[in-house]
Chain A
């Protein structure tokens, strides 16, 4: 199984590449999908507006990729840009594959919750029949974010976590998958998720 990790110029691609390799993927890093891979991974670093800027002229490439039916994993910000729009760094357009928007995790911080939200939170699996969520219920995963997705269609949500509010942790529709947490930073539980993904893509 071949995976392409999309490099848009910032941050740590070693961890996600290594995480994918560990569960069996052959990994390449490139600025765009090659067109012959089994899985495209959009990692999560930077800001929504920065990634939106990267997507800019490449929207067609990603649209063609989606139509081809290749599996796609968006991690953190990579998941957020799968929605229609985001408010971080000014309102900017996402890929619009999922209906809904990306906005601040905490709108009105009366409880003085610390932000960014950094650390380990439990997953609450909302769809136990989804092969991607096998072995993940009540397990801790690692988050680093201040924004979350607010999907119009709740049926795409496979798992949530709670920090002030309940927010989507895993979303999935067809071959499009997104995680708000970082599987590559979530130790053994992250490996379980990536292993589930590998088997799903291979099937």
Chain B
């Protein structure tokens, strides 16, 4: 049985962690490399950096961070945010990331998914889907959740699989940051419709939320609850194992 994965996500801006990190000794440093290493030590199965930089200088700083992190981390590192083209993919992977996560650019230029999968393998290509309930339907939003693409989330998930994506990082916009739990209906709908791993994201607040998510998804991602120390990764994994989940401890 493949172990279910717990993934810690860090928002990185200009090479620094930007929000919600309450570890006393890290608050001032905001050093993503240090925090990533700490999460590995606590039992995280993967790390995701989400680059929220808008400047060229910030992108350069990110590449430095990826390099430094890859040299200390020995679990997989995914980098997402602002990836527009195959050169971006190549640069990020070439600097030490194992996977890239593509969101807006995947919708605007579907060929990018296939191109990246052919060149670097499907395993390196995560497509991030941000979904929001509109009426009775889950719809895909891009541009940090601001732009309604009109795409049905399940249909889009099937399409990205066919285009060559190796994993789907599925975020519920409705639940993101609420700590009310993952959107299980959405996660199950996507997970049942594709044959590639699905990572649940958005809404984690309690340990039981992870349990619910991992019953339908392959991995669960969280940011705030880890940064704020509300949930400790090792304790979380012990709990999940006690509930019958296959976990790496």
- Seen from chain A, the residues whose Cβ lies within 8 Å of a Cβ on chain B are 10-12, 14-15, 18-19, 22, 45-47, 109, 112-121, 140, 142, 144-146, 163, 184-188, 190-191
Chain A: which residue is nearest B191 at the CB level? A114
**Are A109 and B195 in contact, with the CB atoms below 8 A?**
yes
Docked complex Cα distance between A11 and B93 (Å): 6
**Are A14 and B3 in contact, with the CB atoms below 8 A?**
no
**Are A46 and B121 in contact, with the CB atoms below 8 A?**
yes
Tell me whether A12 and B96 are in contact in the complex, defined as CB-CB below 8 angstroms, given that A18-B70, A145-B123, A185-B74 are known contacts: yes
Choose one: B97, B196, B248; the contact of A116 (CB below 8 Å). Answer: B196
Docked complex Cα distance between A109 and B196 (Å): 13
**Are B123 and A144 in contact, with the CB atoms below 8 A?**
yes
**Are B196 and A18 in contact, with the CB atoms below 8 A?**
no
Tell me whether A121 and B197 are in contact in the complex, defined as CB-CB below 8 angstroms, given that A10-B120, A187-B75 are known contacts: no
Choose one: B71, B74, B94, B218; the contact of A186 (CB below 8 Å). Answer: B74
Separation in Å of the B27 CB from the closest CB of chain A?
A: 26
Docked complex Cα distance between A152 and B123 (Å): 28
Say yes or no for B14: interface residue by CB 8 A criterion: no
Choose one: A15, A142, A186, A191; the contact of B70 (CB below 8 Å). Answer: A15
Q: Is the interface of A mostly helix, strand, loop or mixed?
A: mixed
Contact with A along B82-126 (1 / 0, CB 8 A): 000000000001111110000000000000000000011111100
Tell me whether A184 and B67 are in contact in the complex, defined as CB-CB below 8 angstroms, given that A11-B124, A118-B167, A120-B2 are known contacts: no
Among B40, B121, B122, find the residue whose CB has the most chain A CB atoms closer than 10 A. B121
Say yes or no for B45: interface residue by CB 8 A criterion: yes
Set of chain B residues within 8 Å of A15, measured between Cβ atoms: 70, 73-74, 96, 98
**Are B72 and A18 in contact, with the CB atoms below 8 A?**
yes
